[in-house]
Structure 1
């Protein structure tokens, strides 16, 4: 990895910005100079040379007016014919001065024209006017006219040469204008080509210095994220990318260490679970056997000697029998609780209508005894273990029958769909549960009533939660009810069954 690749990205970007600013300054300066030249060429052509050509024509007309007015005065002697002569002299002076202001004294022709015009007036026009006024029109001779004509022909030749020179200046100005426009055009084209080249070069440079290192880093990171935690992360590019790669690799090494720790913890957990399974086996066999003997002999004592001993002895025997039975129930419930999610069976699609019907039939005597009424909606099929889901409905329905109020129990089982989950509701009109106990009731061995008032081990709702979560759902107590108890739990929708139902409906 070379030193420039180790430079910070901020310096690389700063260098790129400086280069761009320098190139922009050069381009702007060149453009300003070219546009200034174009403006000067246009001003020279439009504001100086072309007006000078028009003024030169005015100068030519003014001189011709002087000559024509003089000729008319000579022939008639009428002062009215001198008006063009006088006006022509005034226009001549103004036009000559104007030509100087616009293009200068082109090869000294304006001065020569003025000098020849003064010579023509001094040697011919003024003497001729004085002679005609003194002697009349007849004094005009052919010799005098030839002399005046010779001088005026020189004036006319200089004016024509001046117009020719100004026309040449116009062509030169137009050529300069065309050249300046070409310079501007080529400069614009060059700017476009340079802009494309700069953008392409910057794109390649940024791709090599920034995009490629980031892409390499992302590739290495994806390999680690896919599970290859032994893959070392290395990336080039600017300093920030290298530092980021080092940080990500440090995180990878930390994950490897954590995984090693987790593997050790997993091994220890597996050992602990194995011991727990062994304990469960002992509890289900070795502990239950002496417990059954205790219960059996206590019951024999109760049957044989019941009524033959005093009341206190009968009470003690009753306590022993009840304690043995409750211990058996507690051990059986603990075993069932420990087996949820551990001793798994193949999950199948279960018809909940049949399952709930069987649960209700198992409580038929209790239902008849309490006068309970069950309202069960049409339930959807779900995927799971029938014995476990049956235990959920058994616990919820048995609790509704157990914790009944003064009125006959009314138990409702409803369902509704929420996205990809079914939400089931089991409601009753019993004594209810206070909202502050909503979380406590799902903890194992947590009881809200004395065992004398309501029998049970306190494991039923904890088992319901474990079974529902094992099947991918959640269970909770609905607290915003006016009376009674309402439990809600969710189970995943079976997508293929829903698709089949929709196709059948269509």
Structure 2
């Protein structure tokens, strides 16, 4: 049997040393925990009980002195207004006594017995000082004698609490010293264990690991295809084998990534060509589709004009249907083109004031606002944001336009506001219209989804879908607030400007000037 086969493996030595260290360290930590518990208990007694009790005892003494001052003035002058300090002191006494009870001054404890003695002496003094009959000099002298007894009880209470505080400080100092020594012992144990581990494992572990690390660095820096080998204990050799296996796997994954990158570049170029062709197709298709529609509309109107005397009511109705269908097809094509171009064509994002966006949107809706008698309320604190002006204006215009379109019998009242929520602004557009059933809260944002027939309300069903696409293009989200009881409330978010980009008050005042 060879020595290498009878020797302990590195794992067994490490386990033995770790076990011995864990036992010693566990004992030290247990002692430290006990010392820390004693320190915490002593601190709690001193800071949360004895100290506050002493403060309340002083407050009680002050309250009794105020009472004695008021009663002495009353006995000397027989004026009721001199009893005001007495009443105030009595309230302070009750409050201080209640606090002392809460802090542990119960009748079964020394602080509680001291408190009972003080309160009993105070009751005796008050009973003798405040009598139904007119006060006399003898009564004033008796009151002074009885209050001296109260002072003595207060002095006893204060002395006992001072002694308790001194004892608490001594306990706290003792616990602190014990904790200090335990921490020193723990530090010594850790240092000794570290030295033993360092000396015992340096030859068996550190040297082979350093050789292995050098081989790994050489392979990573020079040639990843160079094999990694190890020497020394069985565990280090196994680690070298695992590292070499990982090296080979990395080589395989790098080759796969290079192949995938080449495919991705090919598909990216193909996608760019496809997008370019799609944009060109959309442009050409829009013109090619709209030209026949314009001809259909023009010739139908020409037929109606020239042959109106030869057409009956049904014929004129058919021509009206054809013209209306062609016009709706033109609107639908324009809306689809606008929807498809969101995020692909447009201006550069710039910092803009949302108040100006709302003003532009309401100006575009000026005729319908006038016709419906609508009232638009815009909050004064709308914030600046970063985005494409035309797209964000379209969001406000669509939401306000829907509020005017789906109005109730009352004149429309639309409110635009915003509030800060963390790193984003939450905008709201609220109206008093016919409202939306909460079950359709998601359906209304799907393209071509309509909740009403075309005969009831005009439109193509693309507006809210476009709003969602624009808001998400700017890094926000939009939803229907289903908690509103009457009318409709749409909310959407936009990222807030960084603090460095927000104008300060001085700049705003200068701009205003």
Instruction: Say whether 1:377 aligns with 2:374.
Output: no
| Partner residue of 1:319 out of 318, 321, 342 | 321
User: Where does the alignment leave 5 or more consecutive residues of structure 1 unmatched?
Assistant: 1-10, 25-191, 224-229
| Partner residue of 2:264 out of 262, 265, 288 | 262
In structure 2, C-alpha distance between the alignment counterparts of 1:477 and 1:336, rounded to whole Å:
23
Aligned to 1:412: 415
> Per-residue deviation at 1:231?
8.4
In structure 2, C-alpha distance between the alignment counterparts of 1:219 and 1:465, rounded to whole Å:
54
Aligned to 2:457: 454
Instruction: Say whether 1:359 aligns with 2:356.
Output: no
> Per-residue deviation at 1:12?
7.3
> Per-residue deviation at 1:387?
0.9
In structure 1, C-alpha distance between the alignment counterparts of 2:470 and 2:403, rounded to whole Å:
19
Higher relative contact order (CA 8 A, sep 6+): 1
CA gap 1:433/1:201 in 2 versus in 1, 3 angstroms: farther
CA gap 1:487/1:194 in 2 versus in 1, 3 angstroms: closer
Aligned to 1:341: 343
In structure 2, C-alpha distance between the alignment counterparts of 1:293 and 1:451, rounded to whole Å:
24
Corresponding residue SS for 2:345: coil
Structure 1 length-normalised TM? 0.55
In structure 2, C-alpha distance between the alignment counterparts of 1:216 and 1:491, rounded to whole Å:
53
| Partner residue of 1:286 out of 274, 285, 288 | 288
In structure 2, C-alpha distance between the alignment counterparts of 1:276 and 1:268, rounded to whole Å:
12
In structure 2, C-alpha distance between the alignment counterparts of 1:22 and 1:321, rounded to whole Å:
92
| Partner residue of 1:14 out of 11, 15, 35 | 11
In structure 1, C-alpha distance between the alignment counterparts of 2:466 and 2:219, rounded to whole Å:
45
CA gap 1:380/1:193 in 2 versus in 1, 3 angstroms: closer
Contact persistence 2:408–2:434 (CA under 8 A): yes
In structure 2, C-alpha distance between the alignment counterparts of 1:482 and 1:212, rounded to whole Å:
74
In structure 2, C-alpha distance between the alignment counterparts of 1:203 and 1:366, rounded to whole Å:
87
For residues 377-431 of structure 1, give each alpha carbon's deviation from its aligned partner in whole angstroms, at most 9, with x where no partner exists. 1211111111111111111111111111222222111101122211111111222
Instruction: Say whether 1:425 aligns with 2:428.
Output: yes
Aligned to 2:278: 276
> Per-residue deviation at 1:260?
3.8
Corresponding residue SS for 1:320: helix
In structure 2, C-alpha distance between the alignment counterparts of 1:219 and 1:441, rounded to whole Å:
62
Contact persistence 2:447–2:461 (CA under 8 A): yes
| Partner residue of 1:402 out of 382, 405, 425 | 405
In structure 2, C-alpha distance between the alignment counterparts of 1:218 and 1:413, rounded to whole Å:
62
In structure 1, C-alpha distance between the alignment counterparts of 2:218 and 2:316, rounded to whole Å:
80
Contact persistence 1:283–1:331 (CA under 8 A): no
| Partner residue of 2:476 out of 458, 473, 477 | 473
CA gap 1:403/1:195 in 2 versus in 1, 3 angstroms: closer
> Per-residue deviation at 1:268?
3.1
> Per-residue deviation at 1:194?
9.5
Contact persistence 1:405–1:430 (CA under 8 A): yes
Instruction: Say whether 1:196 aligns with 2:199.
Output: no
In structure 2, C-alpha distance between the alignment counterparts of 1:341 and 1:478, rounded to whole Å:
26
CA gap 1:193/1:436 in 2 versus in 1, 3 angstroms: closer
Aligned to 2:391: 388
Contact persistence 1:413–1:426 (CA under 8 A): yes
Corresponding residue SS for 1:500: coil
Corresponding residue SS for 1:323: helix
CA gap 1:405/1:254 in 2 versus in 1, 3 angstroms: farther
Aligned to 1:181: none
> Per-residue deviation at 1:269?
2.2
CA RMSD in angstroms comes to 4.1
In structure 1, C-alpha distance between the alignment counterparts of 2:310 and 2:356, rounded to whole Å:
50
> Per-residue deviation at 1:302?
2.6
In structure 1, C-alpha distance between the alignment counterparts of 2:472 and 2:317, rounded to whole Å:
43
> Per-residue deviation at 1:18?
6.2
Contact persistence 2:414–2:432 (CA under 8 A): yes
Of 455-464 and 206-215, the range deviating more from structure 2: 206-215
Structure 2 length-normalised TM? 0.55
Contact persistence 1:216–1:235 (CA under 8 A): yes
| Partner residue of 2:301 out of 299, 302, 320 | 299
Contact persistence 1:235–1:242 (CA under 8 A): yes
CA gap 1:368/1:423 in 2 versus in 1, 3 angstroms: same
Contact persistence 1:217–1:245 (CA under 8 A): no
User: Where does the alignment leave 5 or more consecutive residues of structure 2 unmatched?
Assistant: 1-7, 22-190, 230-235
Max radius of gyration: which structure?
1
| Number of equivalences | 325
> Per-residue deviation at 1:257?
4.3
Contact persistence 2:224–2:247 (CA under 8 A): no
In structure 1, C-alpha distance between the alignment counterparts of 2:454 and 2:328, rounded to whole Å:
10
